[in-house]
Structure 1
Amino acid sequence: MEKGNVLPGQKTVGSEMGKMAAAVGSMATLAAEPGEDAFRKLFRFYRQSRPGTADLGGVIDFSAAQATCGTGPGALKVVRSQLSVSSVSEHDAQRAGLQPVSKWRAYGLEGYPGFIFIPNPFLPGYQWHWVKQCLKLYCQKPNVCNLDKHMTKEETQDLWEQSKECLRSKDLNKRRPRSLLEKLRWVTLGYHYNWDSKKYSADHYTPFPSDLAFLSEQVAAACGFQGFRAEAGILNYYRLDSTLGIHVDKSELDHSKPLLSFSFGQSAIFLLGGLKRDEAPTAMFMHSGDIMVMSGFSRLLNHAVPRVLPSPERESLPCSLATPLPAVLPRDSVVEPCSEEDLQVCASYLKTARVNMTVRQVLATDQDFPLQPAEEPKRDVPAEGHCHLHSERSPFKRARLNPDT
């Protein structure tokens, strides 16, 4: 029945209120129950959640005017986090496409020291540069991606050129085959993570993108981590049916440095748990432009993404992406112009997708990789990539995304 045909009445409202109360109560019960499957139960709850209903009533929305964590007996208090405003000049922030740090809002959660959430600090339009880099540049060779397993280097040489026309006509041809960019699930940068050994190594390295390194250094410095070096990155490409399994990022040799996470495109639910999986996680929204920093105690906590949320208006872009990248940029900006054609391709892709960049420092200052024993024979990797994104359409039902699952 269409919404316009539903007359307001006490019976209907009462029925809906009952459903809402039941959903919130169910979620609160799961959150309050520790146990072997505490994290997994909430993961499944949110994976099956319905946008626009009370299923999401307990999810923290840091972008709200008054950032609160909803209701429920297990609710945690949102607190303001202090940033190091003087560590990043307004000029350097602008070079990276960021607002002055004095204008950022940063939050933490009681019980999660070292966790910092920064709702979209990007200047209007500047998110498009990072989206374009993920789709057009960072996925190019010699960087490594999930498509390498079953395709030659020549076939994956330029995913953008092979996909752009298909994506531009997406709205006109709903039954077209998926482009290569739509089959992309992950890309590694810098020190390339080995999905079999779960390690980084000195001999599996390509230069880390200088623009992303600069962005990461500014964000890390603003959070109190001057001298942070961007040495490895994992880019995750989510479809609307993708999930990220429960995991801990622990393969880096220096855990004293933060893990930085940048989100673009459709919103998602992020679950932050404890040191063990029997601790129920806290749920929060990640919107386009949001940045998360996991450091200190929170650096080695279990976390996951059970749900990517489609836009309330079918196949539309988040409001923070409504502004195009300015045509005129500062002369020394690390952000590059984005043509109208490139913007169209990126927008078409993001209407049904989310892109996430995670950046890490692998080695401590003056630290080297330990000597590696002789490599064992490599095992077969599923087509979607070992330990990577799970998609409902994938034949690999337990495929996960993160290296440390």
Structure 2
Amino acid sequence: MGKMAAAVGPVTTLVTEPGEDAFRKLFRFYRQSRPGTTDLGEVIDFSAAHAARGTGPAAHKVVRSQLSVSSVSEQDAHKAGLQPVSKWRAYGLEGYPGFIFISNPFLPGYQWHWVKQCLKLYSQKPNVCNLDKHMTKEETQDLWEQSKDFLRYKEVNKRRPRSLLEKLRWVTLGYHYNWDSKKYSADHYTPFPSDLAFLSEQVAAACGFQGFRAEAGILNYYRLDSTLGIHVDRSELDHSKPLLSFSFGQSAIFLLGGLKRDEAPTAMFMHSGDIMVMSGFSRLLNHAVPRVLPHPEGEGLPHCLGTPPPGILPRDSVVEPCSMEDWQVCASYLKTARVNMTVRQVLATDQDFPLEPMEEKKKDITIEGSCHLDDQNCQVKRPRLHPNS
């Protein structure tokens, strides 16, 4: 493999701290970057990609990705709120085989459903979240109901304490991930949402992965001061299946590195609606999110979130209507936040979890997890970042 994304320009002026590798150096640079300056000049923007070219010095690395158009019917794509696959703008990067970046393939208005699901439905019990570490299940029973009025009147009282939804950092779906043992558990499983499973299956099929099964999901809830540390997603037992990542809300910078941290990563923007697929060689690469970017016009929403969904949805659609009352809450939340859904297949076909010693099973995995997003103002006590997202 060739040298990954060598840093050029203002990044090279950074002084490397003792013991700091190339990835950590760029992570620190983008963590401290100033939007609107030359600091972000080398970040690839796939949304501005024309003729398979992005912006910035690294844009020569951008190539078009071929999708399996015939694997997803227009009806199934529409059912998931997606444009026909033939209209998707999919890109790859030289030096990163197996990495696919799909620039917002959602139909206008359909992102509303997925944002609402992340905040209103997926955050509910029996799904596990970071708040379970310090609160009872009764206290975290319905975060939406406890938070919606706070968020709806956020502009009126900006000095109020954060609502529970604003303290939410992660939620697990399907097989629960144990942050301490770094393993998935067969003993704690919650039904995987059927709508998200269907969406994931269509995206995976379009990228050439027929038969993908959505078995585990980790939802990350980012504030403007949140980061996600450098890590590799290797805990799934079957690495032949892709990792799917869906972004909604404010934009962020994503760093994709190499097999080792001494290889400098490539930086790219993730905008609302963007989807990333990591498979093959790129499935086990180091990656991180050093920066969530505030809206350039203050507390605003990305343009693609300004259009409501159509009044009449297809009869068999997995997407549900979103009331203006619910969207008011979601919009208030997203003005200073972003949500990311990562979906994984944990087991290969006909594979089972290995037997664990009895002492391992005695651990209460439902509350061991703690905030793996580095949030400077997080009001929930948590240790340093865990290495798996």
Q: Identity of aligned pairs, percent?
A: 84
Contact 2:229 2:385 in 1 (8 A): yes
Q: Which residue of the partner structure matches residue 209 of structure 1?
A: 193
Q: Which residue of the partner structure matches residue 385 of structure 2?
A: 400
Q: Aligned ranges for residues 312-351 of structure 1 at < 5 Å?
A: 312-351=296-335
Q: Which residue of the partner structure matches residue 263 of structure 1?
A: 247
Q: Which residue of the partner structure matches residue 177 of structure 1?
A: 161
Q: Which of these residues, 208, 224, 232, is aligned with residue 216 of structure 2? A: 232
State yes or no: 1:301 paired with 2:285: yes
TM-superposed CA distance for 1:371, in Å, is: 0.7
Q: Which residue of the partner structure matches residue 70 of structure 1?
A: 56
CA distance in 1, matches of 2:131, 2:277: 29
CA distance in 1, matches of 2:383, 2:56: 32
Q: Aligned ranges for residues 81-120 of structure 1 at < 5 Å?
A: 81-120=65-104
Q: Which of these residues, 107, 114, 117, is aligned with residue 130 of structure 1? A: 114
Q: Aligned ranges for residues 277-296 of structure 1 at < 5 Å?
A: 277-296=261-280
Structure 1 residues 387-396 or 106-115, which shifts more? 387-396
TM-score normalised according to structure 1 size: 0.89
Contact 1:145 1:187 in 2 (8 A): yes
CA distance in 2, matches of 1:85, 1:381: 40
Residues 232/256 of structure 1: CA separation in 2 closer, same or farther (3 Å cut): same
Name the aligned partner's letter for residue 86 of structure 1.
Answer: S
CA distance in 2, matches of 1:403, 1:242: 16
TM-superposed CA distance for 1:381, in Å, is: 11
For the residue of structure 2 that corresponds to 1:63, the secondary structure is helix
Gaps of 5+ in 2: 1-6
How many corresponding residue pairs?
377
Q: Which residue of the partner structure matches residue 29 of structure 2?
A: 45
Residues 280/398 of structure 1: CA separation in 2 closer, same or farther (3 Å cut): farther
Gaps of 5+ in 1: 1-22
Name the aligned partner's letter for residue 389 of structure 1.
Answer: L
Q: Which residue of the partner structure matches residue 167 of structure 1?
A: 151
For the residue of structure 2 that corresponds to 1:346, the secondary structure is helix
Name the aligned partner's letter for residue 388 of structure 2.
Answer: P
Contact 2:256 2:265 in 1 (8 A): yes
Contact 1:390 1:397 in 2 (8 A): no
TM-score normalised according to structure 2 size: 0.92
Name the aligned partner's letter for residue 257 of structure 1.
Answer: K
Structure 1 residues 385-394 or 208-217, which shifts more? 385-394
Q: Which residue of the partner structure matches residue 14 of structure 1?
A: none
TM-superposed CA distance for 1:25, in Å, is: 2.2
TM-superposed CA distance for 1:140, in Å, is: 0.4
Q: Aligned ranges for residues 244-255 of structure 1 at < 5 Å?
A: 244-255=228-239
TM-superposed CA distance for 1:78, in Å, is: 0.4
CA distance in 1, matches of 2:231, 2:168: 21
Q: Which residue of the partner structure matches residue 3 of structure 2?
A: none
CA distance in 2, matches of 1:295, 1:145: 27
CA distance in 2, matches of 1:82, 1:379: 45
TM-superposed CA distance for 1:71, in Å, is: 1.7
Contact 2:167 2:378 in 1 (8 A): no
CA distance in 2, matches of 1:90, 1:236: 30
Name the aligned partner's letter for residue 305 of structure 1.
Answer: V
TM-superposed CA distance for 1:111, in Å, is: 0.2
For the residue of structure 1 that corresponds to 2:355, the secondary structure is coil
CA distance in 1, matches of 2:263, 2:364: 32
CA distance in 1, matches of 2:202, 2:44: 26
CA distance in 2, matches of 1:65, 1:295: 22
RMSD (Å), alpha carbons:
2.3
CA distance in 2, matches of 1:127, 1:313: 21
Runs of 4+ in 1 over 3 A off after TM superposition: 28-32, 376-383, 394-398
Q: Which residue of the partner structure matches residue 186 of structure 1?
A: 170
TM-superposed CA distance for 1:70, in Å, is: 1.1
CA distance in 1, matches of 2:33, 2:367: 28
Name the aligned partner's letter for residue 331 of structure 2.
Answer: A
Structure 1 residues 167-176 or 214-223, which shifts more? 167-176
For the residue of structure 2 that corresponds to 1:363, the secondary structure is coil
TM-superposed CA distance for 1:399, in Å, is: 2.8
For the residue of structure 2 that corresponds to 1:306, the secondary structure is strand
CA distance in 1, matches of 2:41, 2:261: 23
For the residue of structure 2 that corresponds to 1:46, the secondary structure is helix
State yes or no: 1:79 paired with 2:63: yes
State yes or no: 1:242 paired with 2:237: no
Show CA shifts across 1:36-58 (max 9, x none).
Answer: 51000000000000011100000
